[in-house]
Amino acid sequence: QLQLQESGPGLVKTSETLSLTCTVSGGSISSSSYSWGWIRLPPGKGLEWIGRIYSSGSTYYNPSLMGRVTISVDTSRNQFSLNLSSASAADTALYYCARLGYSRDGVDFYYYMDVWGKGTTVIVSS
Amino acid sequence: DIQMTQSPSSLSASVGERVTISCRASQTINRYLNWYQQKPGQAPKFLIYSASSLQSGVPSRFSGSGSGTDFTLTITSLQPEDFATYYCQQSYSTTYTFGQGTKLEIK
């Protein structure tokens, strides 16, 4: 059964880079049927989409984070990572990684996040 | 960004009741709408895709409907394990967005 596990520092200093890794087990990150994403849940707020990556390395990012966010993949380690530069208190959140699957209906591709990690809390503070 | 608005923000109901949660998109998203359930301390659980298709393993008391801008999640005969927060999420645009969540509590 596919499992995802986030890892990384729980405390990041203001203006530094927030770095997290998601390790995929029970399946290959190289599967062309899936892509891999990051989502966060700030305290007292709703879920926010950060971005996604395909095993090929192509990425899509939330424009609100553009310029600060980088998602990368390491197929040899079956991992993908999130880097968020110039971190501020607004980046304090519970961070999740997830697998994106899809259902195809003709020319329509319905994407969804079907497997999630348990999440890791990151606090940004000086 | 496409804004997703859920109503109500919170809801109290009893075991065995039928409940409905609404989700409205700020523009048409056809049927690119997913639903998730989240319990405290747990990761979100994927329930429904394409507005009305039930993910494998999800109980049939959960159902979804709608298209365009207005969508509904219905839970018939609430069970104790259904009390959680529910989120809708659009995948019409490449920048996915979520509703703010609906907290379903026991009455």
Encode pLDDT of B58-86 as tens digits.
999 999 999 999 999 999 999 999 999 99
Encoded tokens for A30: 């190289």
CA atoms within 13 A on the CB side of B63: 9
The candidate with the shortest Cα–Cα distance to B38, out of B105, B107, B103, is B103
In this predicted structure, what is the pLDDT of residue A74? Answer: 94
pLDDT over 90, % of chain B? 93
Q: Strand pairing partners for A34?
A: none
In this predicted structure, what is the pLDDT of residue B102? Answer: 97
Q: Is the pLDDT of residue B50 over 90?
A: yes
Chain A residues whose CB is inside 8 A of the B52 CB are: none
Residues belonging to chain B with any Cβ–Cβ distance to chain A shorter than 8 Å: 1, 30-32, 34, 36, 42-46, 49-50, 53, 55, 87, 89, 91, 94-101
Mutate: best of B33, B96, B97, B102, partner A, most A CBs <10 A: B96
Please indicate whether, in this complex, the C-beta atoms of A114 and B98 are within 8 angstroms of each other: no
Torsions phi, psi of A90, nearest 5?
A: -65, -15
Distance (Å) from the alpha carbon of A14 to chain B's nearest alpha carbon: 26
The DSSP code for B41 is: T
Chain B residues whose CB is inside 8 A of the A105 CB are: 50
Does A38 reach chain B within 8 Å, measured CB to CB? Answer: no
Would you place residue B107 in the very low, low, confident or very high pLDDT band (cuts 50, 70, 90)?
confident
Over residues B2-27, the mean pLDDT reads 97
Encoded tokens for B25: 């998109």
In this predicted structure, what is the pLDDT of residue A108? Answer: 86
In this predicted structure, what is the pLDDT of residue A98? Answer: 98
pLDDT, averaged in runs of 10, over chain A (126 residues): 96 97 95 93 93 92 92 95 97 97 90 96 96
Chain A residues whose CB is inside 8 A of the B1 CB are: 63-64
